[in-house]
Structure formats: structure tokens, C-alpha cells
């Protein structure tokens, strides 16, 4: 979103890691932790990766944001 005074704004962006994961760890381990399992070292999830990012288009004279585009590369 571009706010009225030209500020670019985006939320929930920036995951880089395994596409089938919970914050980069094996999903079942995250579920077990939530359900009260004893803590243990995190296991990194394997498999195909993904990267989420954003491209901001700015006005070079005013510095205001003209457009924000979210990208997901898988």
C-alpha cells in the first residue's frame, strides 16, 4: 500500500527458507512445541526453498513511494 503522503507500507514479508516449513523448521516440531512437548533443538526443514521480498518504486525528486509490489520466488 502507498499511504496518502507517499509512504510505502507492507506487512508480513520476508520469509526466506524451506517452502514447506514453519519459520524454517519442520512443521511437526512447531506443532509439538505448541502442544507442550519438551523443548529440543530445532530441525531445519529441507526441500525446495522460497524467498519473499518487495520492490518499492520511488520518486527520485520527492523521495515518495509511488508503488509497492510483493514478490514470492519459489
Per-residue pLDDT of the chain (74 residues; tens, 9 = 90+): 899 999 998 877 777 889 899 888 999 999 999 999 999 999 999 999 988 899 999 999 999 999 999 998 88
**Predicted local distance difference test score (pLDDT) of residue 6:** 92
**Predicted local distance difference test score (pLDDT) of residue 1:** 86
**Predicted local distance difference test score (pLDDT) of residue 72:** 87
C-alpha distance across the termini of the chain, in Å: 23
Q: How many helices (H) and strands (E) does the chain have?
A: 1, 3
Amino acid at each position: 500500500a502507498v499511504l496518502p503522503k507517499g509512504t510505502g507500507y507492507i506487512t508480513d514479508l520476508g520469509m526466506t527458507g524451506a517452502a514447506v516449513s514453519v519459520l524454517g523448521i519442520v512443521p511437526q516440531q512447531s506443532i509439538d512445541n505448541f502442544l507442550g512437548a519438551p523443548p529440543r533443538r530445532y530441525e531445519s526443514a529441507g526441500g525446495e526453498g522460497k524467498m519473499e521480498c518487495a520492490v518499492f518504486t520511488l520518486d527520485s525528486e520527492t523521495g515518495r513511494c509511488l508503488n509497492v509490489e510483493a514478490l514470492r520466488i519459489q
